[in-house]
Amino acid sequence: MASGRSGSERTEPERRPVASFRAMLRSRVKQPQFYWFLGHFLTLYHFVRFHLALLSARSQLYHYKMSLFYISVTYGIVLYQFYKGGQLRLSTHNLRHNLRTMDNLQYFIMLTTLWFCAVVSNSIVLNGVTYSPVIYSLFHCLNYFKENLLPFLPLNSQVKGLVNQYITAFISSYNAQFLAMAQVIEIICSLRSGLMDLPVALLWSLRRFDIKALCKVWSIVTYIWFFKLRYVQNERIRQITAQYIAQLEQLLATRLSPRFMDLWMSYKAIVAALFRSLPV
């Protein structure tokens, strides 16, 4: 009968070698997902720099354009992956269906249009529109960093475990809240665009029609059209929009005279009719 091994002869289970951070990076740069992460990271960087450049309109404009550019790149990469996988087909027959059902395509068209208009007009064409994509970028960056970069960083395993726990806890605690906030921001931007920005831009274009005025109108119409797609697709957005409009009317009813309230209701009816007539 064979004798068992003594305690001194027992060996520790072999540890799996961890690839070096440099070797991991060489592998990651060959994958589209790495550039998708990099685009989200640079979006966050330029978004922060935009808000830090309060005293420089030129710097703000630069970071505004770069934020739009990099976030557009991330959606372009996703669409390219969909195209390679056969989920996206570039044909007239499928275009309308894809526009109504693919979030990534909706955001890509809206953001690239705004970036193009910002570059051509050399101006901030629409304020506030980067906030919701930046929220998505934040959580995409955190997830990618946690899963693909953190395990390979030259750090103590306890430190990496602690960072992983903090990121996981943050995502678990705030992901749903931030995504709801992104929807609210889009609703507020669309209501402001339809009720205020577009009429003002149209009046300004009648007074002085140039490339800047044209890009401003085009950007606003594009964003409203984008929101119409989101509105048609998402029941939650329709509910929140109705709720905000009702709250706005309650507020106006306490501040406006009955005559001006009637004017507001007529104006709202015209805007709603134009919104319903937008083709999607």
- Evaluate whether residue 211 is within a structural domain: yes
- Evaluate whether residue 11 is within a structural domain: no
Residue 15 has pLDDT above 70, yes or no: no
- Evaluate whether residue 12 is within a structural domain: no
- In this prediction, residues 76-82 reach a mean pLDDT of 94
- Evaluate whether residue 190 is within a structural domain: yes
Residue 64 has pLDDT above 80, yes or no: yes
Q: What is the pLDDT of residues 108-145, one digit of tens each?
A: 999 999 999 999 999 999 999 999 999 999 999 999 99
CB atoms within 10 A of CB 208: 8
- Evaluate whether residue 50 is within a structural domain: yes
67-81, 101-115, 244-258: which has the minimum mean pLDDT? 244-258
Residue 280 has pLDDT above 90, yes or no: no
- Evaluate whether residue 223 is within a structural domain: yes
Backbone phi and psi for residue 15, each to the nearest 5 degrees, phi listed first: -85, 140
Per DSSP, helices labelled H in 53-149 are: 57-84, 92-101, 103-121, 131-144
CB-CB contact of 78 with 36 (8 Å):
yes
> Reduced to 3 states, what is the DSSP secondary structure of residue 95?
helix
pLDDT for the residue numbered 100: 86
pTM of the model: 0.86
Residue 210 has pLDDT above 80, yes or no: yes
pLDDT for the residue numbered 19: 59
- Evaluate whether residue 177 is within a structural domain: yes
The domain total for the chain is: 1
Residue 101: which domain range? Answer: 21-277
- Evaluate whether residue 13 is within a structural domain: no
